[in-house]
């Protein structure tokens, strides 16, 4: 079906405005289909003209436009022509729709723990026509009145407060104007924890089988919710306008969360059923703050078209980390941002798909999906930090508030945002915007011991970016100096660098740039790094080490030496977890030559064991160390004991997720026979357990196991989005290069065909996870390049292939230089 183009959206928005949406859903028709009736009241500025309605139904029973019957057969490729429009119009469409299994539209999932079914709506990016007829574009906002018929045992949640009426029909209160992609309905035997803050009713909801977990975590989540509301109200001076504030943790959710006004949805794996580190709770808290920030950036003021995605995501990212660091217990939130989110963004900048933060072309809605990446999120947030440094916090907040108030319940775009900011700043931001927002690429900053700081701009994306940053020096852990720097030339001189063993440019991580550390600093890291007291500076150092490997500037063996010498002494759990993940998931399997992988992994296991033995039992450090050890050790006795529940580290007794982690390591070592997997599965009949079992089976290195897993991924149309992800994750975690090599060709032939039954949002993730990342060979590059050029591959799969290929090419280049 064709994706709506920018030009089509502009023409339609110029012609019509939507006055009111009435949607009636019948979810009491069994597990496959549901009924959907839509009545749309809309105005036409040029009576007599024509437009089209978006609807993708299994069947259409009746259509009426202004009381006149319209043949349902007129729907072609999801579009219903509407001709001879009046000044004021009513169109009514009665359809039968089908539930999805790929996380898009109205997704239905069965909880294996108790057999109960759950439904949630995820209408992003262009899935709304799979749920109700609509004019599906972000700038045709309208108030919604929704009714839902549901089974008697279900509860219903949505954008408006839900009230149960006769015959199990729920009425949702009329909403303020919403874009189509913000509309949601969640229905099923959800359980709830409710509260109230500052006049706002609060609710947190989850599957019934997660009630104990929900009630355990709800107090902390409600506290962050209240703190975030207070922070945003103080910052923006614009109160939350959407009535109740429900947060629903739903199964098999593609994204981390979705900012539906009044009914935010989250993936329910954020309700940690086992042990959770402070970093994990921080990530969930930050997600809560991120989605709430969208109330103002996205919900209240919506981008006019997907070109200005950054007005949603960059702001939500920036505001969330600002909020969590200023208003919650997580005052060190920017540490996690630096080692997690920024590394994601830097990888996106190095990929061939890099694009500007703002104004990145989105000729149609589907192409916009490709730009939900580390640039729109992490780089955009970093750029906004630079804007604060450029114009001052007071002027920044004043400009943001003016923009919100002048566009509330409407739509905005880059030029309108800049106009508001320029008025608050008192001068033009054209040059700043051109350099930071409208030009792709990331600068490289280096500093030598003579004080020469250089800024190298990508040749393909020339820009004159001024960086506001600082430089810090450390010796024996003590900070020797910290010098503010304005880098507004290709090279500037920095005085006062003497007396430090380790010198860190951008030590406060204020700017967006890849940092090259000098040779003396690199040589000093094995002794100095753990002693540096500033976790943000350590985050910058670790990030420089990782990107140095990826860019081919640092021998991965040297990076491994730094890791094994210092990791066990790293006191921050976010740095411990993220750095270990980078080494175990990418650097060791891709950048270390195959005959050195086992030794490298063993060294990481040794560092993890040392950290575990030296950590306080039950602490975050101990938990991170135990997980890394479980994923890397070859100690059969330890693994066998842990999976049977013997000699477990403190705090991990009865932790099913840890048990699966151990079993998956055993599977990769070919130590997990069917009966053992079956026994562990019998002890964990939850959705998480079912998915973990699939990953475990796919992780076994045997040829038959790989053939089974690949067949399940590529031919079993009954697999959900999460099941596909679980299988793909396990598949490439083990096996010899010789056995796996044929799957590089099968990847490019088989994965694109999943588009026949898997939605774009889910398929792009599968294409990423199923990429033949272990086959680091020129032949893989060749076969993927050929596939990318094929016309039958969707834009999202092409983007996934290209981005993963660029990572593989980085590994090839590194091996060529350092092997």
Catalytically active residues, by annotation: 291
**Number of continuous H segments (helices) and E segments (strands) in the chain:** 28, 28
Q: Between β-strands 200-206 and 191-197, what pairing exists: parallel, antiparallel or unpaired?
A: antiparallel
The 3-state DSSP class for residue 171 equals strand
* Rg of the chain (C-alpha set): 27
Are the beta carbons of 133 and 94 closer than 8 angstroms? no
Provide the 8-state DSSP code for 340. Answer: I
Four-point Cα dihedral 347, 350, 355, 358, nearest 10: 50
The helix (run of H) or strand (run of E) holding residue 452 is strand 452-456
Order of all β-strands in the sheet with 513-516: 491-493, 452-456, 443-447, 513-516
* CB hemisphere CA count around 352 (13 angstroms): 15
Quick one: which of 80, 100, 98 has its CA closest to 40?
Answer: 80
Strands (DSSP E) contained in 467-562 are: 467-475, 478-487, 491-493, 502-505, 513-516
- φ, ψ for residue 617, nearest 5 deg: -55, 135
Are the beta carbons of 267 and 255 closer than 8 angstroms? yes
Strands (DSSP E) contained in 382-451 are: 410-412, 443-447
The 3-state DSSP class for residue 488 equals coil
Paired strand residues for 507: none
Contacts of 535 (CB under 8 A, 6+ apart): 332, 335, 571, 572, 575
> Is the peptide bond preceding residue 776 cis, with omega within 30 degrees of 0?
no
* CB hemisphere CA count around 293 (13 angstroms): 24
- φ, ψ for residue 524, nearest 5 deg: -85, -15
Q: Which two tokens stand for residue 802?
A: 């290209």
Four-point Cα dihedral 802, 805, 807, 812, nearest 10: -150
- Residue whose tokens read 């599968």: 766
Q: Which two tokens stand for residue 348?
A: 């996106």
Q: Which two tokens stand for residue 62?
A: 């009746």
Are the beta carbons of 138 and 197 closer than 8 angstroms? no
For the residues of 56-98, what is the DSSP string, one character each? Answer: --SEEEEEEETTEE--GGG-BTTEEEE-S--SEEEEEEEEEEE
Distance CA 415, CA 409 (A): 18
Order of all β-strands in the sheet with 59-65: 68-69, 59-65, 88-98, 33-44, 16-26, 144-149, 169-172, 162-164
The helix (run of H) or strand (run of E) holding residue 143 is none
The 3-state DSSP class for residue 696 equals helix
Q: Which two tokens stand for residue 328?
A: 């919650």
């Amino acid at each position: 079906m064709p994706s709506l183009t920018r030009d089509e959206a502009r023409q339609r928005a110029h012609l019509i405005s939507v006055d009111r949406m009435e949607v009636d859903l019948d979810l009491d028709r069994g597990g496959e289909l549901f009924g959907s009736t839509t009545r749309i009241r809309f105005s036409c500025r040029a009576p007599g003209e024509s437009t089209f309605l978006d609807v993708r139904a299994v069947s259409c029973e009746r259509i009426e436009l202004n009381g006149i019957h319209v043949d349902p057969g007129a729907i072609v490729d999801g579009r219903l022509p509407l001709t001879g429009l009046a000044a004021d119009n009513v169109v009514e469409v009665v359809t039968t729709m089908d539930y999805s299994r790929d996380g898009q539209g109205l997704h239905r999932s069965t909880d294996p723990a108790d057999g109960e079914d759950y439904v949630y709506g995820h209408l992003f990016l262009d899935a709304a026509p799979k749920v109700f007829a609509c004019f599906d574009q972000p700038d045709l906002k309208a108030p919604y009145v929704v009714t839902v018929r549901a089974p008697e045992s279900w509860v219903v949640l949505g954008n408006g407060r839900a009230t149960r009426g006769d015959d199990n029909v729920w009425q949702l209160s009329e909403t303020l104007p919403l874009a189509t992609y913000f509309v949601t309905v969640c229905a099923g035997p959800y359980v709830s924890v409710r509260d109230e803050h500052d006049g706002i009713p609060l609710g947190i909801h989850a599957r019934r089988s997660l009630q104990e977990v929900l009630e355990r975590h709800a107090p902390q989540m409600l506290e962050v919710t209240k703190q975030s509301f207070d922070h945003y109200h103080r910052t923006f001076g614009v109160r939350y306008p959407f009535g109740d504030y429900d947060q629903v943790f739903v199964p098999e959710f593609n994204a981390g969360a979705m900012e539906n006004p009044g009914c935010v949805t989250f993936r329910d794996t954020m309700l940690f059923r086992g042990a959770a580190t402070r970093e994990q709770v921080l990530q969930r808290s930050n997600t809560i703050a991120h989605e709430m920030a969208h109330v103002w950036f996205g919900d209240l003021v919506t981008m006019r078209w997907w070109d200005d995605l950054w007005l949603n995501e960059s702001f939500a990212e920036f505001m969330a980390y600002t909020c969590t660091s200023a208003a919650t217990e997580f005052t060190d939130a920017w540490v996690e941002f630096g080692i997690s989110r920024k590394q994601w963004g830097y990888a996106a900048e190095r990929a061939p798909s890099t694009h500007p933060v703002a104004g990145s072309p989105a000729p149609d809605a589907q192409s916009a999906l490709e730009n939900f990446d580390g640039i729109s999120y992490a780089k955009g947030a970093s750029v906004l930090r630079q804007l604060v440094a450029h114009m001052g916090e007071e002027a920044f907040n004043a400009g943001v508030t003016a923009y919100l108030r002048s566009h509330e319940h409407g739509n905005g775009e880059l030029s309108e945002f800049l106009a508001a900011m320029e008025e608050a700043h008192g001068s033009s931001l054209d040059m700043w915007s051109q350099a930071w927002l409208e030009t792709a690429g990331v600068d490289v900053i280096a500093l030598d011991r003579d004080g020469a700081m250089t800024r190298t701009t990508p040749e393909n994306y020339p820009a004159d970016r001024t960086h506001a940053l600082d430089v810090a020096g450390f010796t024996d852990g003590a900070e020797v100096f910290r010098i503010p720097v304005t880098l507004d030339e290709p090279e500037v001189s920095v005085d006062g660098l003497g007396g430090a063993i380790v010198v860190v440019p951008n030590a406060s991580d204020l700017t967006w740039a890849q940092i090259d550390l000098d040779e003396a600093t690199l040589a000093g890291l094995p002794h100095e790094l753990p002693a540096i007291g500033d976790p943000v500076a350590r985050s910058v150092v670790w990030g420089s080490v990782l990107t140095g490997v990826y860019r081919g500037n640092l021998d991965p063996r040297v990076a491994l030496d730094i890791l094994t010498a210092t990791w066990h002494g790293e006191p921050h759990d976010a740095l411990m977890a993220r750095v270990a993940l980078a080494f175990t998931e990418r650097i060791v399997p891709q950048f270390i030559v195959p005959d050195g992988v086992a030794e490298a992994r063993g060294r990481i296991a040794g560092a993890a064991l040392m950290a575990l033995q030296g950590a306080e039992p039950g602490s975050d450090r101990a938990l991170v160390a135990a997980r890394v050890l479980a994923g890397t050790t070859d100690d059969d006795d330890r693994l066998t004991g842990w999976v049977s529940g013997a000699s477990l580290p403190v705090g991990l007794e009865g932790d099913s997720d840890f048990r699966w982690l151990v079993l998956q390591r055993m599977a990769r070592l070919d130590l997990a026979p069917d009966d053992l997997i079956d026994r562990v599965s019998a002890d964990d009949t939850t959705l998480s357990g079912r998915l973990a079992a699939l990953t475990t089976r796919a992780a076994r290195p045997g040829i038959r196991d790989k053939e089974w897993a690949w067949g399940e991924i590529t031919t079993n149309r009954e697999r959900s989005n999460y099941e596909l992800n679980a299988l793909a994750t396990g598949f490439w975690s083990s096996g010899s290069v010789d056995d796996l090599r044929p799957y590089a060709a099968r990847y490019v032939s088989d994965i694109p065909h999943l588009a026949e039954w898997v939605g774009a949002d889910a398929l792009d993730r599968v294409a990423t996870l199923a990429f033949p990342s272990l086959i680091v060979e020129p032949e893989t590059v060749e076969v993927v390049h050929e596939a990318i050029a094929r016309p039958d591959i969707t834009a999202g799969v092409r983007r996934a292939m290209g981005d993963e290929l660029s990572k593989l090419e980085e590994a090839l280049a590194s091996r060529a230089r350092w092997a």
